[in-house]
Amino acid sequence: MATYADDRRESKPARRPPHEPAPATHATERVLTLQQLAGNRAVSQALDTGRTLDILVPAQQHRAATLLDAPGVRARMPTFADLKAAYTDKKLNIPESVVRNAVTQLLGRMAKEGRLTSKDPVASIVAAIFPGPGLIVEAEFNKALDTADRTKVYQSVLDANTTVQTADKASLKALMKDAGDLMSQVEGDAVGLKAVFGTKDAVAKARYASARAALAVVAGDLDKHVTTDYNLDDPEVFMGGWAQNATQMMHLIVGVVKGTDPARSKTTLVHEASHLGDSAVEDFGYYASPAFEAMTDAEKVDNAAHYEELPRRILGTSSYPGHVFVAGTVKGGGTVTRKDTVGRIAREHLRRAWDAAVDAHSLLREVRKARLSKNDRAPFKANKALILEISHVCDLTVHRQRATAAQVTPLDVTLMESVARAMNLIGRGVSGEPLPAGPLSDQAAADAMVAEATKKYGELLHDPARDKALVDWFAAHYHVIPVVP
């Protein structure tokens, strides 16, 4: 998990963005309750119980997102070979204009973040790569970006969502043991448990014990319980990991597996273990999000991020050292403005859009992976209608292919990856939008902020109306898009 804590969802992986308050995810009543508790101050996210789907959807997962400035994070293109294959495949029969448009979108999103080697305008780069009908020039493709950089060129879906490599297992097990030791130490800290969990201290103590036991089981068989991502998909879409209580599965980003930041890895493992230890532990508010410390005792004891606090105090990474958490009381005081309230609604809309877009990317990736590794077309057939809809709203290529040969190509996987990434970036930008003028409801004002932030990002479909519709489509499909096992 990156520093954004983890997200939750028991019918799908829930995610959350780093060091940025994750918007509320529960029903309006929970949001209003939290607002009452925290006064006029931005409140931490509420939870969304999620939905149980009966098609290819594992029970609830809890996900997190990585930091925006995490090293190695880049928007990516497919390899030239994969791009050429999509461009020239007569069976797929993708119109050349569709491929050029897809490349334009990908390069535009990369240019937005300064990730291209070439300083030429994107339109010029695309014209050089595709100089005429049926022509595609590898040398011009290679001039545009560093093709040897795996953070810029998508290599293989087979390296994504895979088991932990042997070389990394010993260090991960050691980190898990340390995380377990931290939880054991917390169980003996009666003062600390009372300070953070108040009247629910005994419940929290028992849940630490359950989490510790669950983590020990996971450490005993990493191949069975843990997956990771060596293809760097997770940082691309800002997804930091997930845990699933029903299957006792945990997915960790490579940085956590390798212990790049040992304290963060241990904190992440505590967070994820809390989900594994008790199905009641969700993600109601992420660590250090607004009013995180102001939640009620009942909410804190059910919130995974609060289980991070006491281990963080031991590790010296706490944002609240020595602080006694009191419902309705924010560290340092302060009152909320209407801008805070409206901003939270806008951020939550975009968080849901991002979460669903990550699910869409996972779906397309696993469908592609099934076909590539086992020539298994069943996942595509089972989800064909939804895949075609995703393709249509995102300007992918699947719905423009010959129907009898349609499949998810590497170009579609990278396009969807970049859309998911964009949703997160837009969500980060919406907080800076001013409160719209006029007699608007909070919801209408938030919607206007989302529209403006999306317009300012400007690299989705290059049509403000379609761009906003795309954001809204994904927000409406939160917890709806199935996850292929």
Q: Which residues are 252's β-sheet partners?
A: 228, 241
For 368-425, the pLDDT digits (tens) are 888 877 889 999 999 999 999 999 999 999 999 999 999 999 899 889 999 999 999 9
Question: Does the structure show a pLDDT above 70 at 26?
Answer: no
This prediction's pTM: 0.73
- CA proximity to 484, closest of 369, 374, 351, 322: 369
Q: What is the pLDDT of residues 303-332, one digit of tens each?
A: 999 999 999 999 999 999 999 998 877 777
Q: Sorting pLDDT into bands at 50, 70 and 90, what band is 76?
A: low
Work out the mean pLDDT of the chain and round it to a whole number. Answer: 81
In this structure, what DSSP letter does residue 241 have? E
Q: What is the pLDDT of residues 32-70, one digit of tens each?
A: 223 322 222 222 222 222 222 222 223 344 444 332 222
pLDDT at 335: 62
State residue 85 phi and psi, 5-degree precision.
Answer: -60, -45
Is 9-67+158-315 assigned to CATH 3.40.390.10?
yes
pLDDT at residue number 8? 32
Residue 340 has pLDDT above 90, yes or no: no
List the chain domain ranges: 9-67+158-315, 77-156+338-476
Task: Pull the structure tokens for residue 343.
Answer: 């901003």
Q: What are the residues facing 10 on neighbouring strands?
A: 60
Residue 387 CA to residue 301 CA, distance in Å, equals: 38
- The confidence score (pLDDT) of residue 485 equals 53
Hey, what are 66's tokens? 């990585």
The SS3 assignment for 24 reads: coil
Q: What is the DSSP letter of 161?
A: S
